[in-house]
Amino acid sequence: MRPLDSLTSIKVKLGVVILVAVAVTATVGVLGVRAGFSPLACGVAASLIALAMVPVLARGMTSPLREMAAASRAMARGEYGLRVTASSRDEVGELARAFNAMAADLAEMDRERRDLVANVSHELRTPIGALQAVLENLADGVDDADSETIQTMLVQVRRLGRLVAQLLDLSRLESGGLRIERRPFELRALLEQAADESRLHARQLEKAQLHVSVSVEPEELSTEGDPERMHQVLANLLENAVRHSPSDGEVTLLARPDGDRRGVEIVVADEGPGIPAEEAPRVFERFYRADAARAASDGGSGLGLSIARWIVELHEGRIRVEPGEPHGCRMVVSLPGAGR
Ligand SMILES: Nc1ncnc2c1ncn2[C@@H]1O[C@H](COP(=O)(O)OP(=O)(O)OP(=O)(O)O)[C@@H](O)[C@H]1O
Ligand SMILES: [Mg+2]
């Protein structure tokens, strides 16, 4: 039991403890003297009773501090599961609640760090394993170093290089090491360049029939931001759109003013299978793949959209997924700012 838990200030609690101790000492002293005991014996007895009462009353005032010290030592050892009792309403209780919230945040960060290490190792292992298998076959003389074998190795090395570049980008973005250099730029040129590159990508995926169209309304629409970084966003969105489109489908890239905030809206739409509504919020998470088996065989690691979201958010913009009409996927980027 913690008798003073309901008091909201540690000063008031201390005052109550002192008052009760003084009152008990005085009462015991007076009663003892009246009963004929010597004043010295009464004084000693009263002090002992008061001393015994203080720990009972003050119970719970300092124990959260001791619990916090123990929990901090556990955290230093990497254990984030301990929580302290936070039932009192005074400053120590407030500190205990803040401590518990911090411990929960640290536990979550620790879990994310472990996940990240596990995911990165897993993603690196796949291409390294494939490379190793080909090289072992070459070393054992099972395979010849013909152009097909070299091509297989090149694909895996490219995949490794891309993954490392993506991880580096993501770590710079998350640590705030990557600065956005804002300047006004025209959207038409940016969209045309990204579309040209995605047509090339479509040809590489043997989807030569795929049509990539660009529409900018009004023609001279411009915005403010870092054009290189925005190009990276569009490249990631278009890469997904081309990859998921049917080979004779249409990928639409359009930019228009965003009425609400005098900003602009950029949409990348495709006619592929789309993203189910329940998956939509998760596709922006690191390493998340809606269809893991297929994405892995296609070479995706689930980092493209998280990089895109970081860049858009550094521009104080938003990115969201919408279902396409009648099917497909629409990625909508809204950028605030100067517009037009
Ligand atoms: N246009 C799209 N149509 C259907 N599904 C999509 C589309 N864009 C993204 N997705 C789904 O969202 C997941 C996450 O996309 P993201 O771009 O982050 O990763 P990825 O394309 O798998 O790999 P990476 O971009 O790192 O090469 C994809 O694996 C895919 O399942
Ligand atoms: Mg992608």
pLDDT of residue 212: 96
Cβ of residue 283 lying under 6 Å from some atom of ligand 1: yes
> Per-10-residue mean pLDDT for the chain, 340 residues long?
79 89 89 90 88 83 88 93 87 92 94 90 90 93 89 91 91 86 94 95 91 94 94 96 93 89 90 91 88 62 93 95 90 79
For ligand 1, is residue 201 a contact (CB within 6 Å)? no
Same CATH fold, 183-335 and 112-175?
Answer: no
Cβ(245) – ligand 1 distance below 6 Å: no
Residue with tokens 């980027």: 333
For the chain, the domains span 10-104, 112-175, 183-335
Q: Dump pLDDT digits (tens) for 161-183.
A: 999 999 999 888 888 888 888 99
Q: Is the CB of 185 under 6 A from ligand 1?
A: no
Alpha carbons 186 and 189: distance in angstroms, whole number: 6
C-beta of residue 260 within 8 angstroms of C-beta of residue 220: no
CA of 96 to the centre of ligand 1 (A): 42
133 secondary structure, DSSP code:
H
Identify which of 134, 241, 227 has the alpha carbon closest to the alpha carbon of residue 187. 227
**Interatomic CA distance for residues 100 and 104, integer angstroms:** 6
Does the predicted TM-score (pTM) go above 0.85? no
CATH number of the domain at 183-335, out of 3.30.565.10, 3.40.50.720, 2.60.40.1170, 3.40.30.10? Answer: 3.30.565.10
C-beta contacts of 78-83 below 8 A and 24+ residues apart: 78/110, 80/106, 80/107, 80/110, 81/107
* CATH class of the region 112-175: mainly alpha
**Using one digit for the tens of pLDDT, what is the confidence trace for 60-112?**
788 888 999 999 999 999 999 989 988 888 888 899 999 999 999 999 999 98
Question: Is the minimum distance from the CB of 305 to ligand 1 under 6 angstroms?
Answer: yes
- Determine the distance separating the centroid of ligand 2 and the alpha carbon of 311, expressed in angstroms: 14
| Rounded Cα gap, residues 82 and 67, in angstroms | 9
134 alpha carbon – ligand 2 mean position (Å): 26
The position carrying tokens 């119970």 is 59
